[in-house]
Copies of this chain bind each other. A is one copy, B any other.
């Protein structure tokens, strides 16, 4: 087992603990009670064996600047709640209409559609409760910045906007620039946020925040190219899910424009850029370089 498999497994356990704590039946100050069924649906949507890449990125980016306490995990849990909400809503019948996620029934299948809508809404809302927790950062101004940046990354000009563009793309063929914009918003914004916010958690200088922000953008680009390449080349057996979906749907991807060989060259260039960006950041920087290589060259 590589150090990265171990780190991801470790982060999965830490996130399960942090998210379970956030989804405790005990009402918090300002709440009257928390309905059992809604909590169960939120747990189903978050504690589902996701690989916790975003929390790991955030935590390593904070560690690169010397921060490694449990408050980082609270911020990472906020980010993962937000990521999970997007999956719960994307799976809905009116959206991608998926019955299964990681081999388990999706939330609207395990519960019902109304409950899934509310569970997604509540996970999104919970992210903004968690990110404001004092343990996240001693300075309220930093926590507020993390909160507002999260809203920007997730909203109409970020992830949700990217999902809108993706829905609209079903009716026409996008050009290269349009695909880049769509992907930078739909999947890139949250990956970039994970890294930039991690640097802020570690009190990085503005230059270093910008550097980690760019590292996050590069990770986002590599993540999407690798995903498209896998969809094109891997067998369903290796992926544990249907492949060739994009081609079947007549959906243009950057890989369909570039071809597999040029895509692999671009991926190599992205890993090189990412490695340069995190050079000099000690062991955490080395791990971040390793994550970039994993994201770009993973085979499943």
Q: How many copies does the complex hold?
A: 2
User: How far is B254's CA from A159's CA once the two chains are assembled, in angstroms?
Assistant: 42
Binary B-proximity of A173-189 (CB < 8 A = 1, otherwise 0): 00000000100110000
- Judge whether A114 and B167 touch: CB under 8 Å: yes
Given the known inter-chain contacts A113-B94, A161-B34, please indicate yes or no for A148 contacting B132, CB distance below 8 A: yes
Chain B, residue nearest A38 (CB) = B164
Q: Contact partner of A125 among B23, B132, B141, B154, CB < 8 A? A: B154
With A132-B144, A147-B128 known to touch, is A164 a contact of B92 (CB < 8 Å)?
no
Stretch in A116-124, A224-232, A281-289 with 4+ CB within 8 Å of B: A116-124
Cβ of A287 to closest chain B Cβ, rounded Å: 26
Does the CB pair A156–B117 fall under 8 Å?
A: no
Decide if the interface of chain A is mainly helix, strand, loop or mixed.
helix
CB-CB under 8 A from A129, the residues of chain B are: 148, 151-152, 155
Q: Which residues of B contact A27 (CB under 8 A)?
A: 157
Interface pair B132/A114, CB less than 8 Å apart? no
Q: A38 contacts which chain B residues (CB < 8 A)?
A: 156, 160-161, 164
Residues of B within 8 A of A185 (CB): 32-33
Q: Which residues of B contact A246 (CB under 8 A)?
A: none
* Interface contact A34-B156, CB-CB below 8 Å: yes
CB atoms of A114 and B140 under 8 A apart: no
Q: A35 and B128: CB pair below 8 A?
A: no
Contact A147 B147 (CB under 8 A): yes
Contact among B42, B148, B168 with A35 in the assembled complex (CB-CB below 8 Å): B168
- Given the complex of chains A and B, what is the CA–CA distance between A128 and B151 in angstroms? 6
Q: Let me know if A128 and B128 touch, CB within 8 A.
A: yes
Instruction: Tell me whether A44 is interfacial, beta carbon within 8 Å.
Output: no
Min CB gap A71→B, angstroms:
15
Tell me if A240 counts as interface (CB < 8 A to partner B): no
- A95 in contact with B115 (CB, 8 Å): no
- Does the CB pair B94–A163 fall under 8 Å? no
Q: In the complex the two chains form, is B31's CB within 8 Å of A125's CB?
A: no
A126 to B158, CA, bound (A): 11
